[in-house]
Structure 1
């Protein structure tokens, strides 16, 4: 039986790494992608693009009690991801640049080709170790139809619930807060749980004095990451329960591009 992963990768293999651009192209400059509908407010004309990375990890959720019943929508409780540098793969930025179609397919290819790169307590879920979630630093190699991706850093939420991007290889760091979000396009990759792609975000420096070299981050071209819904009961009548009960948590695999700017 042919797996969904095999079918998806086969469908896109003809436009992936086998078709890079022929060296730098001065007419192509990095431009934030569009959802095809509502879009995030663009960076200012003076903003400097510092890095484009791809993140692969998990979005975490929990269902909290509300007036004795389950909350209809799980609450987001943070994220963990390993980040890989893809700046030079953007069309026109280097001799190893990809075609735009191949570049845009990277989140999809990574999500389906590789397991979440986190230390997991067991193989029964996608949750990560609570004490040491990140494995030793390593590049991502042998991704189907793509070149090796250099390790860039980590994304996590600190003990105050603040989103952190630590790009330790380049010395960049962003401590941010969300100021904008738009829904992912309807045709975005729904992920391995078939729950949908998380929203695109605009994040800015939170003025805590922790950011270094960047103060603006965009999360775009998301794949997966949305949770299952919360449920009050198992449905009865022999119906299988699907979703989270009050107090239950869930970790959902996702991939996305993060664009880092300094304004």
Structure 2
């Protein structure tokens, strides 16, 4: 597929007249500029790619983590970047047993992972804007979770927590890709960079992380980075909050394997 066709296809979900197209979040009005910036950037890349006349490059061998991730420990020697996904879902919290002045406690996360490896290798600036723009769309219904709005990136995995301190990534859910599974634990954390995009209701971006594999990982998967986070943070206290609640977030997960 020519690069221009690859990029134009990213518009298809948004412009489709089909009733199953994902809806814009009710809170998007304050961040509508993000969506506009995404499509402006995409249009410029389509224009550029017409001159390239080449297929999109999916080789991740020369791709490096965002510059701000240098504050995290680097990937371990001998590992290679196997997959990059945009994660779109919720960070989950509880106020059960906590007084109104206490901060909500994290109870994990649930997210769908969308295959962004080719975008990462071809146009990393588009990837960053995709991550921001995706949070402005409603992904609550099953149909919209088949593709990442406002792009047409396909599902490559699922992310859950198997217990309070074990994030789990299943990258074997697709019939197209069998990448592996990885239960992980936190190795390092840094605050999201100053100016990181806030969430649908102004929530701060959750920290950037390095995770390392626990026993049971497959496909050679060893390390995971969570970078370019958007939204997801809990309010400062439990005042006025329900017992259990979710905060929408998007991010990039970078998977390294041996």
- For residue 133 of structure 2, give the secondary structure of its aligned residue in structure 1: helix
- 1:44, CA displacement in angstroms? 2.4
Aligned residue number for residue 241 of structure 2? 244
Q: Distance in 2 between matches of 1:3 and 1:225?
A: 18
Q: Distance in 2 between matches of 1:75 and 1:48?
A: 34
Whether 1:189 aligns to 2:197 is yes
2:79 to 47, 59, 74: 47
Q: What TM-score results when the alignment is normalised by the length of structure 1?
A: 0.73
Instruction: State how 1:1-263 maps to structure 2 within 5 Å.
Output: 3-16=29-42, 18-19=44-45, 22=52, 23=54, 24=57, 29-35=62-68, 39-65=71-97, 69-70=99-100, 72-91=102-121, 97-98=122-123, 100-112=124-136, 114-117=137-140, 135=142, 139-140=146-147, 143-144=149-150, 146=151, 148-159=152-163, 162-168=166-172, 169=174, 170-171=177-178, 172-207=180-215, 209-231=216-238, 243-244=240-241, 248-263=243-258
- For residue 223 of structure 1, give the secondary structure of its aligned residue in structure 2: strand
Aligned residue number for residue 19 of structure 2? none
Bigger fraction of residues in helix: 2
Q: Distance in 1 between matches of 2:67 and 2:73?
A: 11
Query: Alpha carbons of 1:251 and 1:12: their partners in 2 closer, same or farther (altered >3 Å)?
Result: same
Contact 1:175/1:211 (CA < 8 Å) preserved in 2? no
Query: Alpha carbons of 1:25 and 1:54: their partners in 2 closer, same or farther (altered >3 Å)?
Result: closer
Contact 2:147/2:155 (CA < 8 Å) preserved in 1? yes
Query: Alpha carbons of 1:167 and 1:17: their partners in 2 closer, same or farther (altered >3 Å)?
Result: farther
Query: Alpha carbons of 1:158 and 1:71: their partners in 2 closer, same or farther (altered >3 Å)?
Result: farther
Contact 1:224/1:254 (CA < 8 Å) preserved in 2? yes
CA RMSD after TM alignment: 2.8
Q: Distance in 2 between matches of 1:102 and 1:178?
A: 28
- 1:70, CA displacement in angstroms? 3.9
Contact 1:189/1:224 (CA < 8 Å) preserved in 2? yes
Deviation sequence 1:73-123 (CA, Å, 0-9, x none): 2111011001110101113xxxxx32x3222111101111x2134x5xxxx
What runs of 5+ residues in structure 2 fail to find an aligned partner? 1-27
